[in-house]
A and B are shown apart, each in its own frame.
Chain A
Amino acid sequence: MRSHVEQIQSIQAMLAAGHRCVELERHSLLLWGLVGGGLCAFTDLAINPDRFPDNTQRAIALFLWLAVWLGGMSWLDHRLTRQARQAREETLPFAQAQITRAWWMLLALGTLSTFAMFFHGGGDMIYALWTVLLGLGIFFFGLFSRPLIEWIGLAAILLGIAGLASGLSMNGARWLTASSFAIGLPFAGWLSARTDDSHAGRRILAVALWLAVVITPALAATRLVPTASVPTPTTATLNLPAGTILPLHIDMNSTLVTISPESSVPVRVTRNTEIALTDGQPDGRYRFDQGSWHAIKDGVLYLRIDRIRPKLDAGKPEIRMHGDFAFKGE
Chain B
Amino acid sequence: MTALPVLDPLLHQPVRTQIAAYLAGRGEATFAEMKRTLGVTDGNLDAHLTKLLDAGYLECRKETSTAGRPQTVFFLAPMGRKAFATYVANLSALLPTKADAQSSLASPDPIPNPTH
Chain A residues within 8 Å of B, Cβ to Cβ: 1, 4-5, 7-8, 10-19, 21, 82-83, 86-91, 93-95
Q: Pick from B24, B26, B29, B63 the residue with the most CB of A within 10 Å.
A: B26
Q: Give A20's nearest chain B residue, CB to CB.
A: B25
| Interface of A: prevailing SS | helix
Quick one: CB contact mask for B69-93 with A, threshold 8 Å, 1 for yes? Answer: 1010100000000000000100110
Whole-angstrom CA separation of A30 from B73 in the bound complex: 29
Residue of B nearest to A16 (CB): B25
Q: Do B32 and A18 have beta carbons less than 8 Å apart? A: no
Report whether B66 and A11 are in contact in the complex, using a CB–CB cutoff of 8 Å.
Answer: no
B65 on the A face (CB < 8 A): yes
Given known pairs A11-B88, A17-B37, the reply for A82 and B27 (CB within 8 Å) is no
Binding site of B, secondary structure by majority: helix, strand, loop or mixed? helix
CA of A14 to CA of B29, assembled, Å? 13
Say yes or no: is B28 at the interface (Cβ < 8 Å to chain A): yes
Bound-state Cα–Cα, A10 to B17, Å: 8
Contacts of A94 in B (CB 8 A): 27-28
Binding site for A on B (CB under 8 A): 12, 14, 17-18, 21-33, 37, 63, 65-67, 69, 71, 73, 88, 91-92, 94-96
B23 touches A89 (CB 8 A): no
With a cutoff of 8 Å between Cβ atoms, the chain A residues found around residue B37 in the complex are 14, 17
Smallest Cβ distance from B29 to chain A, in angstroms? Answer: 7
Contacts of B67 in A (CB 8 A): 86-87
Q: Bound state CA distance, A299 and B24, in angstroms?
A: 53
Contact of A18 among B21, B88, B91 (CB under 8 A): B21
30 chain-A/chain-B pairs, Cβ below 8 angstroms: A1-B95, A1-B96, A4-B95, A8-B91, A8-B95, A10-B17, A10-B18, A11-B21, A14-B17, A14-B25, A14-B37, A15-B24, A17-B26, A18-B24, A18-B25, A18-B29, A21-B25, A83-B66, A86-B66, A86-B67, A87-B67, A88-B32, A89-B69, A89-B71, A91-B28, A91-B29, A91-B73, A93-B26, A94-B28, A95-B27
